[in-house]
Structure formats: C-alpha cells, structure tokens
Amino acid sequence: MSATTPLSHEVLRPQPAGLLHDLSSIGGRALRAVPRDLEGIVPPVFIALFFFIVNIATLERLTESVAGFDYTAFQMATAILLGVTGVSRAPALVLDVQDRYFDRLLLTPVRRTAILLGHMAADVAVAAALTVPIILLGLVLGVRFDGGPIGVLVFMALASLWSLAFAGFGYAIALKTGNPAAVNSSFLLFFPFLFLTSSYVPREQLSGWLDAVAGFNPVTYILDGLRSVVLVDGWQWGELGQAVVAIALVGVVSMTMCFAALRGRIRRG
C-alpha cells in the first residue's frame, strides 16, 4: 500500500515590487492620462499667454523712462507662475477616490507614499512642459537668457518646483474632501499671493503697506529668483537662493498637509 504525500497548501501573497517600480507605475499612469485631461492644462497656459501679452501692451510704456529695464522679461516670470500654479493631477486623484480605484490600490502592496509621489513626479514633468510655450513667446518678444541654455533650465526648474510645492495644497484638499469642486477652487488660494507682490511693477514702486506685505510674501522671492535669470547679467546667487528657500517653506507646509491627508484617507479606507 503506497503512502500518499499530503499536498502543501501555500498561501500566495503579493510581494512588494520596490519603491522605484511603484513610482514608475503610478507616475506613468498619471502621465498617460494627461492627453485625456487637456482641459485642465490648456486653459492655464492660454490665460498665462493672454495676460503676458496684454500686460506688456498695457504697462510697458510706463517703464520706458527706466534705462535698461526690460518689462517683457520682467513680466515673463509672472506669466510663468500663472501658467504652472495649480496644475496637478489632484483632480484625477479625486476621481480615483470617487470610483474606488484608490481603495483598490490600497489592497495591493504598493507603497502608500508612492501614490502621492508618483502623481507629483508627473506634475513636475507637466509643469516643465508648460513653461515651454511661455518661454518661446518670451524669446520671440526679445527676452534673452544671459545664462544661455543653463539659464533656461534653471528658470524651468524653479517654476516646476514652485508648481510642485503649491500642488501639495490641491492634493491635501483632494484626499481630505474627495470633492472635485473643492480641488478646482484651490487655485484661488494663489491669487492673494500673486497680487500682493511685485507681480506687475518693481517692488520699489509699491506703496508702503503693499511693500511691507510683499516682504512677507514667498511669491515675491520666487519672482525675484526667476527675474534674476533674465533681467540681470551674471548669476545672482542671493536671489536664486531666496527663491529656493521660499519654495521650500511653502513646500514644507503643503507636503505636511497632503501626507497627513493621505494618512487620514488610508485610515478611513
């Protein structure tokens, strides 16, 4: 009589694939969805280009008496911030929450932080791409980067990092509320930051109280850093350093909020 060998019943469990794989999967999915969501990308760029041209036509003659002042280059920094601020995959993340894809994703071994970091990696790529038409228009209008190609890359990097820092607020709202309307309204947070600063005239032309407010506004230093690349000969490390610090301060606040919202959403899930 032959002895029967008992069958071993092994439980098959999904294994983590690694952080880089998770980031590439989430980020790749987010980037592939961009062509289907052009209505979230085209309007900001159109608005930025529109105000770029209109502001130059309206205000440039007021600065003609200032020797060596290039108002077109001055305004390009404002146009860049208008074009990239608030552009993120946060609305798409809201849809993932609503259709329960986010909950299904939590059932996989994907790293939870990769869910946000993958979307943010896509945001940086999109923001960098959105700077291109604005920079091209600036070059057509006579703006010159004294730093050459490296100056252009620094300009794009600052704009992309700011876009990422501000996007944290959108992700925080998306994960906290799951409400598309609330996420779309997050851009309104930027308007006080933009207009209470040297967005349209040099800071020395601001009135007393507005100059004081602009001194505490991080966007002031981001604009100064962007403008230092196109308005001043040579590298202005002080302005560039202040711009990076301002972006980092805003990023610390926004990222703290969005990762706290992610933890809250995971606990609810």
pLDDT digits over 46-86, tens only? Answer: 999 999 999 898 888 877 766 678 889 999 999 999 999 98
pLDDT of residue 188: 79
Convert 196-227 to b/e letters by CB count within 10 Å (16 or more is b): bbbbbeeeeebeeebeeebeebbbbbbbbbbb
CA 189 – CA 184 distance, rounded (Å) = 11
Residues 93-122 pLDDT 10s: 988 888 888 888 888 888 889 999 999 999
Rounded to the nearest integer, the mean pLDDT of the chain is: 86
**Where residue 164 falls among pLDDT bands split at 50, 70, 90?**
very high
Round the CA-based radius of gyration of the chain to a whole number and report it. Answer: 23
pLDDT of residue 185: 80
Mean per-residue pLDDT, 133-141: 94
pLDDT of residue 154: 95
**Where residue 198 falls among pLDDT bands split at 50, 70, 90?**
confident
Please give the C-alpha separations between residue 19 and each of 71, 127, 159, 167, in angstroms, as whole numbers. Answer: 45, 23, 26, 22
pLDDT of residue 12: 46
Residues 25-42 pLDDT 10s: 898 998 998 888 888 788
CA 20 – CA 39 distance, rounded (Å) = 30
At 168, which amino acid appears? G
Local structure of residue 5 (DSSP, 8 states): P
Q: Are 156 and 131 contacting, i.e. CB atoms less than 8 angstroms apart?
A: yes
H-state helical runs in the chain: 19-32, 42-59, 71-84, 90-98, 101-106, 112-140, 148-177, 180-184, 190-195, 208-216, 218-231, 237-268
Local structure of residue 217 (DSSP, 8 states): -
Mean per-residue pLDDT, 178-204: 83
pLDDT above 90: residue 222: yes
More confident residue, 20 or 5: 20
Mean per-residue pLDDT, 185-197: 82
C-alpha 50 chain-centroid distance: 20
CA 142 – CA 73 distance, rounded (Å) = 8
pLDDT of residue 10: 54
Q: Are 91 and 40 contacting, i.e. CB atoms less than 8 angstroms apart?
A: yes
Residue showing tokens 């604009």 = 223
CA 139 – CA 116 distance, rounded (Å) = 35
Give the length of the chain: 269
Nearest to 78 by CA among 261, 222, 239, 262: 222
Mean pLDDT check: name the lowest of 91-105, 180-194, 231-245. 180-194
